[in-house]
Amino acid sequence: MSQAAIKADLKESLEESPAADPENEAQQEMSPKYIFLTIFSCFCPSYPINIVAFVFSMMALRSYNEGDIDGAKKLAHMATLVAIAAIIIGLLIIAVSCIVHFSLLYSRNKESWVTAHSSGDEELEQTAPHKRLVRTAQLQLES
């Protein structure tokens, strides 16, 4: 066999392999990583947004299974963006609620501390903070 015949056979075998098929390459490029992200976003407290992300990911999976690779890629990209937005909004909601909760808790404790010190009870000043709060509450109940 000549060199040209060997090269022709090699070229034919490479063209027939599934790895060289452009449609197969497009199918292999699509990975369902966005599904895990959308499921993770469902645990964030931004419920309307993360449900939309999950719907987009299911639509992308369905389009992919039906063979619409381009549509599936667009829907998967949209699902990823909406899931990221849901996670960010959820983290902001958590942060704001923690800030509000702890600032209110601090202001209540500060008011009770000021009340305890203004009553002139010197024994209260020397006790531990948690005992001080209990004693302050008892003083408030008495008055």
Q: Which residue from 38, 124, 120 is spatially nearest to 86, judged by alpha carbons?
A: 38
Q: Is residue 24 part of a domain?
A: no
Task: State which residues form the domain around 92.
Answer: 31-142
pLDDT at 26: 47
16 inside domain: no
pLDDT at 33: 81
pLDDT of residue 1: 53
- Whether 21 maps to a domain, the answer reads no
pLDDT of amino acid 59: 94
Q: Per the domain annotation, does 44 fall within a domain?
A: yes
The parts of the chain modelled with pLDDT lower than 50 are 17-20, 26-27, 124
Q: Give the C-alpha separation, 73 to 76, whole Å.
A: 5
Q: Does the residue 17 lie in any domain?
A: no
What pLDDT, on the 0 to 100 scale, is given for residue 129? 65
Please tell me the predicted confidence (pLDDT) of residue 4: 62
Is residue 59, in this structure, part of any structural domain at all? yes
3 burial (CB, 10 Å; 0-12 / 13-18 / 19+) is: exposed
> In this structure, is residue 120 part of a structural domain?
yes
Number of folded domains in the chain?
A: 1
The rounded percent of the chain whose pLDDT value lies above 90 is 42
> Residue 123: its pLDDT value, please?
54
The answer to whether residue 20 sits within a structural domain is no
